[in-house]
Each structure stands twice: as C-alpha cells, then as structure tokens.
Structure 1
Amino acid sequence: MTRRLDPGAGWYGEFLRRDPEGMRACLDGVALPPWDVLESLLLDLPGAPGSTAREAAYAAGLRAAAFAVWDVRPEGARELRSQLAAAAGQRAAAEEAVRTLTARLDATADPERAQTLSRELAWTHDDAARAASRQADLQARLSALPLPAVPRQRTPFPTPRPASPPAAPTTPQPAPHEPPPTADPTGATLAGAVPPGAVPARVAPAAAAPAGAVPPGVGPVGAASAGGARGAFVDGLLMLREQGRSGEAHALLCEAARWPAGELPGLAEELGHAGLAADWATLLWEAASLPPDRLAAAAGALGEAGRQDDAARLLRQGVARPAVEVAATALALGAAGHDRETRALLEAYVRLRTADETAALARHDPHWLTPRLLRAARALSANRHRDLAHALRAAGLPAA
C-alpha cells in the first residue's frame, strides 16, 4: 500500500516525518499498525470512487489474520495487557484535558485565545477518541486469547471513518508540535498525526460490542417507551464503564447524540442521576457535529426543557464550523422561534470569531443576520460593535 503513496505528502508523509522509526517498525513487521493508521493511509490512496471501502475491507481482513497469529505468541498476552493499560491511561488523561480545555474555552472572551483553545480542544477530543478506539480493539484481542478449547474467534476490527472531515470543529490545523501526537503503546507515535490542511477527525469506535454484550433497547424509540429506552441506555453505559470497555461506551454516546432531539433533556437527567456527567459532556460534543437543522432542534429542545446552559454550550461548540453551517443553524433556530438560542449562537460567534469572519457570516442572509449580529456585538461591548460595523461596511453590507 505504501508503495502507492507519496512519502512526502498526506498522512504517509506526516507519519514518516513525525515518527520514522515507528513507521519503519510497522513496515518491517516488528509492530502491528493500529487500525487508525491503516485507515488514514487508505484515505490517501488514489483510485476510483468506492475503491477505498473495498480496500479498507481487504486491509481489515489482512490485519485480523495478522494479529490472530501475532497475539498467540508466548509474550502476546503480556504485550496486550501492557498496551491496554497504556491506552487506558492515555484515554483518562485526554478526557481530563477535554474537561479542562472546555472550562477554559467557556471562560475566555478573547477571540484569538478562543480559536487557539478550540483547535487544541478538537485535537484533545481526537486523542481521547483514538485512545478509546484502541482500548476497545486491544480488549477484544485480549478477550479472544483465553479460548483455547474452541475455534479461535475472529476478533472484530474498527470500522473505517468517512473520508470527509468532521463538521465540527473545522479550525485550521495546529502547528506540528501542538499538541504532541498520541503515543502508540507499541512504540510508534502514529495515532495523532494529521496531514497538512486536515483537521482532527472523530474516530469511529473500534470493535463493536459482541452480540448480547449491551442490553437491548438502547436506541431511540417511540414516546411511549422513551423513558425505558433512556434507562436501558444508561444501564448499558454503566455496565460498559464498570467493565472498562470505554470504546464501546463511546460508541453508545455517539449513537445517542443522534437520537431525536426531544430525547436529549431526559437523557441528560438520567446521566446526571447516574453520576455520568462527563459522559453527558462527551455526548454534547458529539451532538455539535449534527447537521444544522438537527443541531438547532437539539439546542431548542434543551432550551425548552430549562437546560439553557447545555443549549448554550452545545451552540458554542458549533461555532467553529463553516460559516454556511452556522448560518443555517441560526436560521433554523429563528424559524422555530428559539430566539434565546439564536442569540446564544450569534453572541458566541461574535465573541469567538473575528469581525471579518462575522461579516462573512452575515453574507449568507444579510437582511436577517446583519441586525442580529450587530445586536449580539453590542451586547458584548461597544468596541466589538464598532469593529463589526466597520467590517460590515468594508464588505459592502449594511451596518445600521
């Protein structure tokens, strides 16, 4: 595969630049590459549309066959346990960093500082998701080893990520040294590398839970049994947390973020009562990548349920998205009569983005957006209002 890639560009070039020894270890068969490394290289492969999915399935099969042999070596179980402990430590550290950065982002009023924190937060979320993905993959491989009396089970492998970048955040790539790449327990520091121009992508959860591992009824259902579904979801999440199956827990949170908007307030209550406030914060982060209409619906539902702080946090996390998506979210909120959430979104945008970026946002519907953005700027400070009015005039838009 690497013979078909440019060693000076894309993911392959970035991996070689950041960790040539780790990449060489994988190429020489001294170490098995993590799935997200293979996945990233696959995204760079030239070929016809649809070929990536076929090649990803083929690569996943080869990798499964490779670690079916690799893991049964005399030192295999010990190595897996060591790597699993390292992945768990990386996930815990990344999740703690996410909480710290989120609090700092919420507290800052400086646009440049907010952009820096948003970029760092995106990378840190990516680190946490990658560590959770690896933890689930390693746990599945380790669990398959104590089964000598039965035919060896084929260990599940991670599902490929989509080729498109995540909807949020879409901030510029940080400098190569910020933050440092996630260390791979095998010695390769390949997990956090991102090619020039890319953004941290949410990592698809690694191994899916085996059949029956998660209690049934954890998906969205009709209103009549919504409470039962939420309860089953929380019970399943608690079980996975207690068993250290964080990758599968993250997969459930990603799924729940896409439940109908009306389910979210009740889910927040259930998670809070269960002591899973950190998981609710993760769910909100994942919900920030919903399409604009669904993001607006989620924020509106939270606001109507009296969870204005959650709605505002969800919208703040969405302001790093492209201007066209932020505009669509604001328009959807306005059309649904969610004026408070519309103000929260636009005030966050004015506070966290430059005056020129805010003027560019107004272009998507000058008649509707311009007066609201000016009111949002005035609510923040006279200087912010003056700067935006100047940027609007320079862009040829009305500033009154």
Structure 2
Amino acid sequence: MTVYQLPAEVAAFTRWLTELTGRARPEGGWYGVFAARDPEGLRACLDGSDILPWDVVESLLQDVGEAPDGPFAARGRILYAAAADAHDGRPGGAEALAERRDLMETERRYAETRSRELAERLRGTPDPTEAARLEHDLAWTRDDRARAAARVRELTARLARWGSGTPAVAVAPPAGAAGPMSAAPARAAGPPPAAERPVKAKRRPRGARYAWLEEGAEVVEQEPVPLPALPAGGAAPRGARFGGAPDTAPVAEAPAADPAEADRAAANAVYALRRLRAQGRSGEAHVLLCEALAGPPARLPALAAGLHRAGLGADWSTLLWEAASLPPARLAAVAGVLADAGRAADCEQLLRQGVARPADELAGACAALRAEGHHREAHALLTAFVRARTPEDAARLAGADPHDLVPQLLAAAREVSPSRERDLLHALRVAGLAGV
C-alpha cells in the first residue's frame, strides 16, 4: 500500500489551520455554518488533502476575533501561499485549478443574475413577510456572489503562477464586486450554476467533495439505472433557499411509503448523484437533491440510508440544510417523517437549523407538528428556538398563538435553564402575554 506524505508546506499550513479551528465554536458562527454545509470538504482541508479557499479562512479568523492584518493572520497568509503552491504543483494541478475556476465563474454569474432577480422582486412586494424572506434570500445570494468572485480571483492568481491560463470562460470579476466577506449570512458554497462545462471522461475527479472515490479509481460509465431527468439548462434549483418554490406550494401527500418503491427511488438518486459528483457536475447534483426534497417526504428516510451507505453523507447534510428553509407545513412534514422512521438525530438537526426563520413561520411549523401528533418534535423545535434566539424573539413567537405557545415556550425555557425561563417571563410581561 502506498502511503501519501503531505508536502511540508501543506503540513505546516494544516497545523496553523487546526490551531485556528480549535479556537472556534463548532456549534455556531462561521465554523458551524461550514461544518454543517460541507463536513467532508472541511475535513479534507483539515487533513491536508485539499486547500481551503482563503475567503473561508478569513471567515474563521473573524469567528475567533483575529484581526485580518494581525500577526496570526499574516503568518497564516504566508503559510497558505506556500501550501497552495505545493498543492497546485502536483501532476494535474494546473488542470484542476482551471476546472475549478470555470466552475466558480459560472457560480458567480448565476449568483449575480439571481441577486438582480431577488432585488427586483423585493422592490415590488408590498407584503412585509414576503419582503423579509426576500431580504434573507438576497443576503445569502450576495454573499454567494462575493465568495465566488473572490475565489475566481484567487484561482486565477494561483493558475498564473504555473504559467497556464486557458479556460473557456472570462474570469475578470465584475466591476464593483463585493469583497470576499460580507456581513450577510454565509454558506461554505454558492448556489448551483445554471449549466456545467463537460468534463473529460475517465479522469479521477479531484477535491474534497470526491473523497468517496478510492485513490487511483477511474470514473466508470455504468448503465444499470437511467439518470433521472433534470430541469432544463438555466433552470434555478427549487430549494426554498433559492426562492424557486413559493410558500403556497402544496405539500406532497405523505402516505405510508411503499418500501420497495422508496428503495428504488433512493437507488436511482444515489446512482445519479455519484455520476454527477464524479463528473464534477456539482450544480446538477444540487438540483437533484432539491428535486428529491420536493418529492414525497415518505421517501426521504430511504434516501438518507442510501446516501450514507454510498459515502455521500455530505449530500444528505445538504438536503437537510435546504429542508430547513421549506414552507412551514412541508418542514413539519419532513421532520415528522424522519422522526417516524427513527432518524431522531436528523430530525433534531433539521429543526435546529430551522430556528433562524421568522417567528410566524416557526409558529406554523410548530402547529403543523402538533396537529400530526409530533409533540416531541414540536417541543424540540421550541427548545432549539429558546436556546438560540433572544427572549424578545420568543415573546414575538408566542404572540402568534398565545394560548398554546406561551406554556410551551415556558416549558422549553425551563428545560434550557432557570435564568432563561426568568428572562422569557420578563419578555412575556413586557409584551402583555404573561397572564395568558
């Protein structure tokens, strides 16, 4: 067995990065976002098999309160440059850089178009609830655009050092592009591109997202199951985070799933995802996940099991991330299905990720869970809300249905801590809800 030894430069930067992440809070901040969004990719960067984009490093520095021009960050920048050079100098490194730059440029263009669309919709909506949702989506998309533009610039500079610069797309960032970090909420990766550039066959994909392929393995074409139909080129994904599915979209019926049918659907999806990931078609893979999320919720437990068996746990994490932004009734339907299937940890992760939503939406999700008999999950949602949000936010949530929510929120706060219960009682009194 061949043992791969990290170049000294990569090992040095990995040690610095491990020191940095050791100071971050794994359950919150930027580190929590990146760990939830792409745990396998982050792990690959921490063990030195891939190089973290510098905008992500800047986010982690912000997490721990390090000044971007301070001595610790300056040392990291020097180590990062040396590690990137060593990583890019491997056989095939320049080709991998060019391919990744193409993808980032496509993602930047998509995010730029999406930002204009959301801004136009925001200007034309009189509904405060819809405006808040659009502002949230616009903040994400602007950050996606800023990160993609920063990565295009970084990858272009790295590629130039190796004397190569012939990808098929333009790489100049847009005039007035935002910097690598914005104050808006951020994700580790941007939205999927509208189209993907063909990738040469039978070449092992590189990068952390393909860690499930054995070293040296080739991408072999198989035909046991047809690739599911995907939206036409240029169609945006329908995940709630991209505004592609309206809040009024009907919730798919969730009868008792036919196990054989659910297993077949899961096998088709897993096979398709492996092909798309192996070919570097990450945008289409994301669309496929959103399509699975838009289908019958009863099929999701089988899909979760299939993805984990195939080593695609990161794709399941992505699906849960998108599910956290579903309309309230559908969020409750997905959480209920996961709970009924014995996937309590997945259900709790989904509910924890959903607590950043507006209070009225969470009230709707809580009511839907209780209506379906999922009282434990409704309690878990309220407990996560009380733990993560301010007492004033909890009082606003209680105002959506004081008779039911005031006692439930107080019970959740009592479970968190006595001080949290006291703070919530004070906020309820201020809001005129303490006597309900």
Both structures adopt the same fold (TM-score exceeding 0.5):
yes
Aligned to 1:43: none
The 1:377/1:318 distance shift into structure 2, 3 A limit, reads: same
Deviations 1:348-399 (A, max 9, x none): 0000001111111100000011100000000011011111011101110025
What are the equivalent positions in structure 2 for 1:30-45 lying under 5 Å apart?
none
Helix, strand or coil at the partner of 1:397: coil
1:243 positional shift? 1.8
The 1:217/1:204 distance shift into structure 2, 3 A limit, reads: closer
Q: Give the one of 111, 129, 138 matched to 2:102.
A: 138
Q: Give the one of 373, 387, 392 matched to 2:423.
A: 387
What are the equivalent positions in structure 2 for 1:50-129 lying under 5 Å apart?
104=25, 106=27, 114=28, 116-117=29-30
Quick check: 1:254–1:283 contact (8 Å CA) kept in 2? yes
Aligned to 1:78: none
Aligned to 1:335: 371
1:171 positional shift? 9.8
The 1:180/1:138 distance shift into structure 2, 3 A limit, reads: closer
The 1:283/1:343 distance shift into structure 2, 3 A limit, reads: same
The 1:168/1:390 distance shift into structure 2, 3 A limit, reads: farther
Q: Distance in 1 between matches of 2:332 and 2:434?
A: 27
1:216 positional shift? 3.5
Structure having greater relative contact order (Cα 8 Å, sep ≥ 6): 1
1:314 correspondence with 2:299: no
Deviations 1:164-213 (A, max 9, x none): 68959949969x99x98441243538776699997669735421699xx9
**Identical-pair percentage:** 44
**Length-normalised TM-score, structure 1:** 0.56
Q: Give the one of 331, 335, 347 matched to 1:295.
A: 331
Q: Give the one of 222, 226, 229 matched to 1:215.
A: 226
What are the equivalent positions in structure 2 for 1:155-194 lying under 5 Å apart?
161=114, 163=118, 170=136, 181-182=147-148, 183=150, 184-185=152-153, 186=171, 188=173
Quick check: 2:110–2:191 contact (8 Å CA) kept in 1? no
Q: Distance in 1 between matches of 2:139 and 2:335?
A: 28
Aligned to 2:191: 203
1:311 positional shift? 0.5
Structure 2: gaps spanning 5 or more residues: 1-16, 39-51, 57-97, 122-130, 154-170, 199-222, 231-251
Quick check: 2:293–2:323 contact (8 Å CA) kept in 1? yes
1:217 positional shift? 4.0
Quick check: 1:261–1:297 contact (8 Å CA) kept in 2? yes
**Length-normalised TM-score, structure 2:** 0.52
Q: Distance in 1 between matches of 2:193 and 2:26?
A: 26
Q: Give the one of 270, 288, 292 matched to 1:252.
A: 288
Aligned to 2:268: 232
Quick check: 1:209–1:248 contact (8 Å CA) kept in 2? no
The 1:289/1:137 distance shift into structure 2, 3 A limit, reads: farther
Match for 1:138: what amino acid?
A: D
Match for 1:361: what amino acid?
A: L
Aligned to 2:76: none
The 1:352/1:135 distance shift into structure 2, 3 A limit, reads: farther
Aligned to 1:262: 298
Deviations 1:44-94 (A, max 9, x none): xxxxxxxxxxxxxxxxxxxxxxxxxxxxxxxxxxxxxxxxxxxxxxxxxxx
Match for 1:342: what amino acid?
A: A
Q: Distance in 1 between matches of 2:384 and 2:396?
A: 15
Q: Distance in 2 between matches of 1:169 and 1:351?
A: 24
Quick check: 2:103–2:196 contact (8 Å CA) kept in 1? no
Quick check: 1:171–1:321 contact (8 Å CA) kept in 2? no
How many residues are aligned here? Answer: 274
Deviations 1:142-184 (A, max 9, x none): 9xxxxxxxxxxxxxx959546268959949969x99x984412
The 1:391/1:140 distance shift into structure 2, 3 A limit, reads: closer
Q: Distance in 1 between matches of 2:357 and 2:343?
A: 23
Match for 1:215: what amino acid?
A: P
Quick check: 2:146–2:177 contact (8 Å CA) kept in 1? no
The 1:168/1:389 distance shift into structure 2, 3 A limit, reads: farther
Quick check: 2:398–2:409 contact (8 Å CA) kept in 1? yes
Match for 1:188: what amino acid?
A: P
The 1:385/1:265 distance shift into structure 2, 3 A limit, reads: same
Aligned to 1:13: none
Quick check: 1:170–1:320 contact (8 Å CA) kept in 2? no
Quick check: 2:391–2:427 contact (8 Å CA) kept in 1? yes
Structure 1: gaps spanning 5 or more residues: 1-95, 107-113, 143-156
Quick check: 1:366–1:397 contact (8 Å CA) kept in 2? yes
1:322 positional shift? 0.8
Root-mean-square deviation over aligned CA pairs: 4.9
1:279 correspondence with 2:315: yes
